[in-house]
């Protein structure tokens, strides 16, 4: 059994509390919507799914769309730049 600390297998209300004060990098998933709703600064990666349809519309969400709908084509430099912009103080 894995007894390491972290957010693995947390009940959703507990995960929402962790996400509330976090920067979340994720993809088109239910947890991405939970992170956005909880108030996390989100960087969400979209490939074959349409972010205009499926992405959370919260102001704390930044969307990165992969060229040609393939996540493998999304450059790590783009994710790094989005993270740096999120970390930059106002």
46-86 confidence digits (pLDDT tens):
999 999 999 999 999 999 999 999 999 999 999 999 999 99
Q: Tell me, which fold does domain 19-87 have in CATH?
A: Rossmann fold (3.40.50)
Residue ranges covered by each domain of the chain: 19-87
Report pTM: 0.82
For residue range 56-66, what is the model confidence (pLDDT) as tens digits?
A: 999 999 999 99
The two three-digit tokens of residue 14, written as one number:
């507990």
């Amino acid at each position: 059994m894995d007894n390491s600390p972290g957010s693995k297998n947390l009940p959703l209300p507990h995960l929402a509390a962790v996400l509330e004060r976090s920067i979340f990098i994720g993809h088109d998933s239910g947890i991405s919507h939970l992170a956005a709703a909880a108030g996390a600064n989100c960087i969400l990666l979209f490939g074959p799914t349409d972010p205009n349809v499926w992405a959370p519309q919260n102001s704390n969400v930044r969307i990165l769309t992969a060229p040609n709908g393939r996540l493998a084509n999304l450059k790590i430099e783009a994710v790094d730049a989005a993270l740096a912009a999120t970390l930059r103080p106002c």
